[in-house]
Structure 1
Amino acid sequence: MFNKLLIDGKDAYAEYGVFVEQYGYKALVQMPSFKKLESTEWDEYDGEETDLTSPILDTKTFAIQFCITEIDMVDNLFELLSDKSYHTFHFAELSKSYKLRLVGNPSRSALIHLGKISVNFADDFPPVVLNDFINEDDLDDSNIILNHKPYATAPAGFKQKGYELDDIDFSRFGIYVLDGTDDNIEKAPNVRANLTVNVKNSPGVVYDNDWVMYKSKDVGLKLLIHAPSISDFWQRWYSFWAVVLKPESRKLYIDNPIDEFECHYKSNSVTTFDIRRNGSVWCEFTTTLTFTNCRPLGNYFVLVTEDGEIVITEPGSEDVEINLKLHE
């Protein structure tokens, strides 16, 4: 446990008897949400129009669970964290340092000398995708500049294809798309409420029957990174976010069924983050995208000849009728 966590250069295990419990990095790793985006709904259009000229990430507050080997030493840890707002935490297993701010201590449990403690921190220095509105000189050293590129081809042995973000297949990020994602994508958005008149002395309501318009919808992409090392994990993680967090909207393409959606980032949650004994990293996470306009549409069929030429008929008696029947 020695030297796995350094706080301002001091070994947290040797000095304060604490270490991060197993699977305790997931809240630290996950990406914060965008700061509030300005959006407008137009009565005559589905979805919403969102200003994505210069989206930037907000601060995030999260908890880290620590195991305690000597309960009497914990107060020394809080004395250190109270001498100023920001402290540098170096997590050796992550090969990464963070500048964090103490927020609170929601729980503490102890049995004789041992125990567990939950500490809330704020990370005020999120990763940044540079654009015309951000001056790199104004950034803190703790802000990661997201200029990472996806792999030229999928990693060796990577077998999944068919999901693309801005024409980049997810395999080039080294990311698998998990079960449940397709269902989330294909579900219909909620209907935007029309003008409704509710009169006290009249049963029911009078509802505008002229049209049905749909709201935007939030879609959770269930994803997995299984990287052979922590350095490979960061390459895959940051190359993905370097695309997701760019200004303007993104294009998400799926090939079963073939469809493409205009969307933008909303939030991220990491459900599993495990650094295994062989050094490989298993990270399951959900990236929530807002689909800004996704009216459900019926299926249309095109009649073609054996040579692949589309058959075009004139309106009238020459129309071709195609009847589809479900298999019994």
Structure 2
Amino acid sequence: MIDNCYIDGISTQSRFGVWVTKGGYKDLLTFPALADPDKNDWPEEDGIEVDLSEPRLQEKEITVSFLSDTHEGATDFIAFVSEPGYHILRVPSLGREWQIRLSAQPANKVFASATSFSIKFIQDVPVRPLAIALPDPGLIIHDSGYKLDGVSFADYGVVVDVARSELLKAPAAKQNLNRKVRTSDGQIYDADHLVFGSKEVTFKCHLKAVSMSAFWQCYDSFFAALIQPEERQLHVAFTGGTYPCYYKKASGFQLLGLRGPVIVEFSLTLVFTVFRIRETEYFLASEAGEYIITEDGEFLIDMK
């Protein structure tokens, strides 16, 4: 039998004949979403003004899928985790534990000699990772061209797989003053002023590390950097631009490899507080790719 889950130090397989199904603990890997910060949305300016002086994390829902080899074992297990108070859930293969409480039983399927079910737990107080020195993934990580506050995602073991289409999409324009006249078609609109709102972009990523301990170091360091006070600066190599943003949520965690190496796929959603698509600029450069500067050393030569 599979002895892959402990609650309050008790093996669920040994006591109840219950174990976590393959991939059934993926929600444990999810990093909590950010509580919605206070913001101002000025109608005459691009983007939003956000109070990120003290970013706070939300509570986290964790749904775990189980299988029991007896109907009685499933019933006894649910009764056990239904006891008041918090429980400590530990998955040995993940090398970490979580303080949780029962919330609901979203699924239950009874077979002739087994029961498949899932339990939704709540982690009321998520553990906030501490800002630490850059980790070592223990592997050579492909640099996908993104930097967070000047640090490459690759230094955290993170690769961005898909983002370009959403990143290059312009945010929606803010609504200007307008007036409808009953005797005229359409509306009268102030078209002399155009500003854009904020926008969300979801990056499809994966985190790769040589071992589970290295994975958690990379994971903690990356998300600790994302939730530091004030706006983050995201540099994107293929646009050459740096954009102010903040972390909103992470989702869709999937454990693709557990041993040699650890690979976890996830989606990362950032809110860009100000984002405006600008015309591409062309500057004179040498064959070596170095910009040619005027004699006074202050200006580039605009090829337009």
TM more than 0.5: yes
Choose the corresponding residue for 2:149, options 166, 170, 173: 166
Describe the superposition over 1:56-88 as per-residue Cα deviations: whole angstroms up to 9, x where unpaired: 101012311112221221121122122213111
Question: Structure 1 vs Structure 2: percent identity of aligned residues?
Answer: 29
1:106 paired residue number: 106
CA displacement 1:33-69 (0-9 Å, x = unmatched)? 1112000011221000000000010101231111222
Q: Secondary structure at the match of 2:93?
A: helix
Give the superposition deviation at 1:303.
4.0
TM-aligned CA distance change 1:206 to 1:62, over 3 Å: farther
Structure 2: runs of 5+ lacking an equivalent: 296-300
**Is contact 2:199-2:271 (8 Å) kept?**
yes
Which stretch shows the higher mean deviation, 1-10 or 168-177? 1-10
1:76-117 per-residue CA deviation (whole Å, 9 max, x = no partner) reads 112212221311111111111111010001110011121310
* 1:188-209 deviation line (CA, Å, top 9, x unaligned): 1111111232345542222221
Equivalent residue for 1:42?
42
Corresponding residue of 1:196 = 178
- Give matches, 1:1-328, under 5 Å: 1-128=1-128, 145-151=129-135, 155-160=138-143, 162-178=145-161, 180-200=162-182, 202-276=184-258, 278=259, 280-303=261-284, 309-310=292-293
Q: Name the SS of the counterpart of 1:289 in structure 2.
A: strand
Q: Separation in 2 of the partners of 1:308 and 1:48?
A: 34
Unaligned runs of 5+ in 1: 129-144, 313-319, 324-328
The answer to whether the 8 A contact 1:305-1:311 is kept is no
**Compared CA separation, residues 156 and 279, structure 1 to 2 (3 A):** closer
TM-fit CA distance, 1:260: 0.6
Residue 262 (structure 1) shift = 0.5
Change (3 A) 1:309 1:147: closer
Separation in 2, partners of 1:214, 1:79: 53
CA distance in 2, matches of 1:103, 1:185: 37
Instruction: Spell out, residue by residue over 1:253-280, the C-alpha distance to the aligned partner (whole angstroms, 9 max, x if none).
Output: 111121111100001103421344x453
Partner of 1:326: none
State the distance in 2 between where 1:59 and 1:26 align: 17
**What amino acid sits opposite 1:265 in the alignment?**
Y
Secondary structure at 1:283 match in 2: strand
SS at 1:226's partner residue? strand
> Structure 1's 62 and 304: CA in aligned 2 closer, same or farther, altered over 3 A?
closer
Query: Do 1:274 and 1:281's aligned partners in 2 also have CA atoms closer than 8 Å?
Result: yes
Separation of aligned partners in 2, 1:279 and 1:304: 44
What is the one-letter code of the residue matched to 2:81? Answer: L
Aligned residues: 297
For the residues of structure 1 that align with 2:180 and 2:146, how far apart are their CA atoms? 46
Q: Please report the RMSD computed on the Cα atoms of aligned residues, expressed in angstroms.
A: 2.3
Give the secondary structure class of the aligned counterpart of 2:34. Answer: coil
Residue 298 of structure 2: aligned partner = none
Matched AA of 2:39: S
